[in-house]
Structure 1
């Protein structure tokens, strides 16, 4: 491969990392509160509310059931209206966030549900209110599981960025399609795969290391 293609790979590797990290961050800004609400308003939660739970549950399930590639196309008009264009790394962040948020909410709900109910009841018996239980009991106790969930989410979003690249999203997915597959450059295509695998492994390694350090059971 020539220097131009190497430079392209370097630039679009940065774009892929940018899309993955920013999308995951904003996904958690939406998904984390939703996951907390789902846990709290569940029938076994600290403040059961069937109507609120059912509404968020149904919306989350509907959003999660839409394949990302279809969601990406559906959101093109909205993305164009919001930031002025529907292509490129920054534009791709919009559908990535919308796709990741309901997935994250379920990951958060699952992590919080793992917290020992006895710990919650003990806090309640000592006079803790719902806010205290959420921020002083549930979230701290589920910290390790939440970090593991975030690690899994990063890997999932990374895969979505590659998918988005095939229809104008930019990053390594676009490189793999335009300069690898369409031009028959299997060496270049192979390098995009290698870089994506390496990025995935780095995200997983860092995430699991952090999770291990926060696991108070060890």
Structure 2
């Protein structure tokens, strides 16, 4: 998939306005992000946020952001938060780049992968790291929760993992979630709304801190979820 195809692969059924962003990591590789909308509009993830959090959740430090939407009102926040440069991305004349490989191919169990991913969490405020794995046909995609100075601009591990898998055009078979602390690992309400939009029929495996596990169908985690067909732009 080239950059133009990835741009067109944006999940934008409500705005119909695709976005693509690329973030360069400290070692020169680039992490892509597409716009991923939600029927509950405030839960939509911009391409820039997606690409930045993809980079950070891979344990890398971002230093350059390219975006097809230079009017994104959150760009000044990202520029200040991560001390990065911001440039316009032209998908018709794309830069010569190498996209980062993010699929976890090793033979560790999901439990061990989740424990390792906790180290990538950026949680200066809560000190409550959470890890998630999107299980795909190609392997596992890892996510960790990322907090920002502006609290509402952070993302939970589940949404980071889902956004990365969708950006790389990978089919999600199941989702694994683990938190280091607390008696019970469970996705928050915002994550459940995103989960129900993208993988409603898939299994969610909750790996608890006491080494037990519970299994659930995504659609059962959020009964009576919002999925109205009455939206005027559908």
TM-score scaled by length of structure 1: 0.31
Structure having the higher strand fraction is 2
Q: Which has the larger radius of gyration?
A: 1
Higher RCO (Cα < 8 Å, 6 or more apart): 1
Structure having the higher helix fraction is 1
TM-score scaled by length of structure 2: 0.29
